[in-house]
Chain A
Amino acid sequence: GAVVSQHPSRVICKSGTSVKIECRSLDFQATTMFWYRQFPKKSLMLMATSNEGSKATYEQGVEKDKFLINHASLTLSTLTVTSAHPEDSSFYICSATAVQGQQNIQYFGAGTRLSVL
C-alpha cells in the first residue's frame, strides 16, 4: 500500500507554545488529507479535511484558529497546534487519500503523540 509519513512521532512542549506536525504522502500525490485526534482508549475523531490549495474544512466543535492546517503541496499537509495547553495533549493522526484505479483508499500516518506540560 501507499506510505504516509508523519513527523514528529512524539513531542513534548510547554504550555503556551505552538507545535507543528507534518504529514507527507511519500509515493503518491494527495489532494485531500485528513487530521484526526485520539484520546486514550477512545476511537479516532475526525478534526478536519485538508484540501491542497484551499482552506481546510473543520468538523463541528474544532477551533480553526487553534488548529491551523496548511496543505501547500500535493504531498504535504501540516497541523499547527497554537498556544498548546495540557488539554491538547493527545494522539494526532493524519491520513491521505490515494487513488488506485477507481478506488479511493485512505492511508494513515503512524501518529504524533503530543504531551503539553
Chain B
Amino acid sequence: DAKTTQPTSMDCAEGRAANLPCNHSTISGNEYVYWYRQIHSQGPQYIIHGLKNNETNEMASLIITEDRKSSTLILPHATLRDTAVYYCIVRVDQGKLIFGQGTTLQVKP
C-alpha cells in the first residue's frame, strides 16, 4: 500500500504558484519522498525528491516539514502544460515505488 495521502484534485490559475500537499505520517527516518507527474497516456516524469531538507530544481521546490510527516510540492509559475496527475511517493524497500492515486492538477487559463 502507498504510504502517502494526497487530495484527489486541485485547480490552479495559469501563472500562479501551484502548491500540492502530501501526507506521509508513517515515513521512516531513512525513507525519501519522491514526486513524479504523469501527463495523460505517458510514462511518469521524475520531478524532485528529498529526505529532510527543502529541495529546489529547475522544475519545482519541495518543502518537507520538520517532523517529516508531510511535504508540499511547489510549481512556482504553473502553465497549461503542467496539467497532470502528481504523485507523492515514499520509496520503500528494494527501491520500489508504490504509487497512490495522486492529485490531478488542472491548470486553468
What residues of chain A have their CB less than 8 Å away from a CB belonging to chain B? Answer: 1, 4, 6, 32, 34, 36, 43-46, 49, 57, 91, 93, 95, 97, 103-111, 113
Contact = CB atoms under 8 A, between A and B. Distances in A.
How many chain B residues sit at the interface, stated as a range, is 20 to 34
A108 B98 contact: no
A44 B99 contact: yes
Tell me the interface secondary structure of chain B in the complex.
Answer: loop
A46 B98 contact: yes
Contact of A105 (B49, B87, B100, B101): B49
Contacts of B87: 43
Tell me the interface secondary structure of chain A in the complex.
Answer: strand
Top 6 A-B residue pairs of the complex, sorted by shortest distance between their CB atoms = A108-B43, A44-B99, A43-B99, A108-B44, A111-B43, A110-B43
A43 B101 contact: yes
A111 B41 contact: yes
Interface of B: 34, 36, 38, 41-46, 49, 87, 91, 94-102
Given A103-B49, A105-B49, A93 B99 contact: no
Nearest to B96: A46
Given A32-B95, A43-B101, A97-B95, A105 B43 contact: no
B43 A34 contact: no
A11 to B, nearest CB: 15
Nearest to A45: B99
Given A108-B45, A113-B41, 17 more contacts: A6-B43, A32-B94, A34-B96, A43-B101, A43-B102, A44-B38, A46-B98, A49-B96, A93-B43, A95-B43, A95-B44, A104-B95, A105-B34, A108-B43, A108-B46, A110-B42, A110-B43
